[in-house]
Structure 1
Amino acid sequence: MNCPYCKKEMEKGYIQSKHGFGWNRKKRMVAVLSGWFADQPLEYETVAYRCQDCKKIIIDYEKEEE
């Protein structure tokens, strides 16, 4: 995918979370759990493309077919 801002190739990767993620019109308080360890499985992920030059991330929020 090419960056819509600078037109350079974007790097494909993933946005991942242990407890889900969502979009809101307003900022909301987010609870942070203590005792979370990086080696625990991440249950939620979505494809995202990163532009290193523009510092932008494009998120594909429809589940990608495997």
Structure 2
Amino acid sequence: MKCPYCNKEMEKGYIQSKHGLGWNRKKRVLAVSSGWFADQPLEYESVAYRCGDCKKIIIDYNQQEE
């Protein structure tokens, strides 16, 4: 995928979370569990493309891979 800001090739990766992904119009306070373990599986993910030059990430929140 080409970056819409600089037109360079973007790196494919994933945005992942244990408790879901969400978008809000306003900032909200989020509770974080203190029982987090790095080896637990992350249940939610979306394909994302990152531009290292522009420091932008493009997320297709309809595209999930198993």
TM class by shorter chain equals over 0.9
Q: TM-score by structure 1 length?
A: 0.94
Give distance in 2, aligned partners of 1:34 and 1:58.
Answer: 29
Q: Which amino acid in 1 is paired with 2:23?
A: W
**1:3 match:** 3
Equivalent pairs, count: 66
The 3-state SS of whatever aligns with 2:50 is strand
1:44 aligns with 2:48: no
Could you tell me how far 1:65 is from its partner in structure 2? 5.7
Q: Kindly report structure 1 stretches of 4+ aligned residues shifted beyond 3 Å.
A: none
Q: Which amino acid in 2 is paired with 1:46?
A: S
Q: Which amino acid in 1 is paired with 2:17?
A: S
Structure 2: stretches of 5+ with no match in the other structure? none
Q: TM-score by structure 2 length?
A: 0.94
After superposition, the CA RMSD in angstroms is 1.2
Could you tell me how far 1:27 is from its partner in structure 2? 0.5
**1:64 match:** 64
The 3-state SS of whatever aligns with 2:49 is strand
Give distance in 2, aligned partners of 1:63 and 1:48.
Answer: 9
Q: Percent of aligned pairs with the same residue?
A: 83
1:24 aligns with 2:20: no
